[in-house]
Amino acid sequence: MLTFATMLTGNIEVLRDGLSRPRKIVVTTHQKPDGDAMGSSLAMYHYLISKGHQVTVVTPTDYPEFLKWMPGNDKVVIYEQKKMPAEKAVQEADIIFCLDFNALHRIQPIDGLVGDALSYKILIDHHLEPEDFTDLRFWDIKASSTCELTYDFIHLLEETPGLSIDCCSCLYTGLLTDTGNFTNGATTAKAMKLAAQLLENGIDFMEIQEKLFNNNSESRMRFIGNSLLNRMVIVPEIETAYITVNKEDGRQFNLQPGDTEGLVNYGLGIKGIKLSILIKEEPGIIKLSFRSKGDLNVNEFARQHFNGGGHKNAAGGKSNEKLDVVIKKIVDLLKLSKARKKI
Ligand code: 5GP
Ligand code: MN
């Protein structure tokens, strides 16, 4: 299943040997985990417990309700809610799997805890330019999802791992969410083949689809309607749509973690729009989500101007400035870069 672009650095034999007897293992993933982060972490959890290890999934922060149906969810330790058990698990771990993030700062506030841990560490990820903080690294920016890489990595460890349906359901979740239901640029032939394989392994894909996408609160649906009707601005000359979410929206629609998930994609549904941005006012910070089409590299834009990053067509960032200042900065930068290209 390995593609030529998948990079493995470090000696996998050390890990194989390390896993040959029951170990204490932590699986961790990025802050505000999404479907791929939780899917890959819980898939790895299921695989490792099936091999007799003691496994704790530690997330830095909480994650959306629509991901909490996943098998193994009740075993997840959320650091911001249970600091002591999370710290104990990390400090006692023989091995730490770092999934779906490329730099330690992406797991704040447990970056120091994980960075300082003396455990053997493995990174499995598909983001650009990973930092060198693990003993082993399995990495491919062309992979649809960390779930796809997790599937490959498990098969690298052992040819016939006999993955449980629970494990496969978690893998399918990340595959589905990171490819936007097999619609965005991350959708490769390999991703579809893996989906077929997971279906053959017995997952109930209709049930997963239902739990992930047809499980909204009424207030979330009304919030999306309000965002599209009253908060979306189109700037035709830069082929951009942006949606703002301010504090008042948060209160009016009782916004919960994950309620803004996917909202950024709507802009790209408009004819002629190549860049869609979600600008969200959070306590003390503005969070940005970028989605683009074609060669428009939002990873670079987010890195250069908004202390962020991600992938070429999907990236995030942040700013400490005020909402209107951030909007003006984005529009001005884009207009400038558009003007420059014409020269
Ligand atoms: P989203 O817009 O869904 O929050 O994130 C899109 C992509 O950008 C994801 O792959 C995510 O990991 C990455 N990303 C989001 N926010 C940040 C950030 O602040 N820093 C970096 N380096 N990547 C981010
Ligand atoms: Mn991912």
For 255-307, the pLDDT digits (tens) are 998 899 999 999 999 999 999 999 999 999 999 999 999 999 999 999 999 99
Ligand nearest to the CA of 99: 2
Q: Are residues 167 and 258 in the same domain?
A: no
Q: Are residues 237 and 209 in the same domain?
A: no
pTM for the full predicted model: 0.92
Q: Are residues 184 and 288 in the same domain?
A: no
Does the residue 1 lie in any domain? Answer: no
Q: Is the CB of 308 under 6 A from ligand 1?
A: yes
- pLDDT (0 to 100) of residue 227: 98
**Of 196, 213, 230, which residue constitutes the final position of a domain?**
213
Residue 343 scores a pLDDT above 70: no
Ligand 2 mean position, distance from CA 219 (Å): 27
Residue pLDDT, tens place only, 126-161:
998 899 999 999 999 999 999 999 999 999 999 999
Ligand 1 mean position, distance from CA 56 (Å): 24
What are 3's two structure tokens?
């593609």
Q: Is the CB of 267 under 6 A from ligand 1?
A: no
Confidence of residue 98 (pLDDT cuts 50, 70, 90): very high
Q: Tell me the DSSP string of 76-130.
A: EEETTT-HHHHHHHHHH-SEEEEES-SSGGGGTTSHHHHHH--SEEEEEE-SSS-
Does the residue 2 lie in any domain? Answer: no
- pLDDT (0 to 100) of residue 342: 57
- pLDDT (0 to 100) of residue 341: 60
Helix (H, G, I), strand (E, B) or coil at 221: helix
Residue pLDDT, tens place only, 8-40:
999 999 999 999 999 999 999 999 999 999 999
**What is the atom index within ligand 1 of the atom nearest the CA of 308?**
20
Average pLDDT over residues 51-75: 97
Query: Residue 45 belongs to what domain range?
Result: 7-213
**Of 213, 235, 269, which residue constitutes the final position of a domain?**
213
List residues bridging with 288 in a β-sheet.
Answer: 279, 317
Instruction: Name the pairing type of β-strands 136-139 and 120-125.
Output: parallel
For residue 129, what are the contacts with CB-CB under 8 A and spacing of at least 6? Answer: 102, 309
CATH number of the domain within which 125 lies: 3.90.1640.10
Which residue has the least CA distance to atom 15 on ligand 1? Answer: 316
Ligand nearest to the CA of 309: 1
Which residue has the least CA distance to atom 22 on ligand 1? Answer: 309
Average pLDDT over residues 185-207: 97
CATH number of the domain within which 246 lies: 3.10.310.30
**What is the atom index within ligand 1 of the atom nearest the CA of 264?**
2
Pocket test for ligand 1, best of 67, 106, 279 (most atoms within 8 A of CB): 106
Does the residue 113 lie in any domain? Answer: yes
**Would you tell me how many other CB atoms lie within 10 Å of the CB of residue 145?**
26
The domain tally of the chain equals 2
Q: Is the CB of 317 under 6 A from ligand 1?
A: yes
**What is the atom index within ligand 1 of the atom nearest the CA of 34?**
3
Q: Are residues 271 and 178 in the same domain?
A: no
Distance CA 331, CA 127 (A): 26
For residue 29, what are the contacts with CB-CB under 8 A and spacing of at least 6? Answer: 37, 38, 40, 41, 57, 59, 98, 99, 100, 101, 107
What are 293's two structure tokens?
């089409």
Q: Are residues 73 and 12 in the same domain?
A: yes
Q: Is the CB of 314 under 6 A from ligand 1?
A: yes
Average pLDDT of the chain, as a whole number: 95
Q: Are 122 and 135 in contact (CB under 8 A)?
A: yes
Helices (H) and strands (E) in the chain, counts: 12, 13
Which residue has the least CA distance to atom 7 on ligand 1? Answer: 315
- pLDDT (0 to 100) of residue 4: 46
Q: Are residues 321 and 182 in the same domain?
A: no
Q: Are residues 205 and 225 in the same domain?
A: no
Residue 104 scores a pLDDT above 70: yes
- pLDDT (0 to 100) of residue 2: 47
Residue pLDDT, tens place only, 221-269:
999 999 999 999 999 999 999 999 999 999 999 999 889 999 999 999 9
**Of 213, 247, 271, which residue constitutes the final position of a domain?**
213
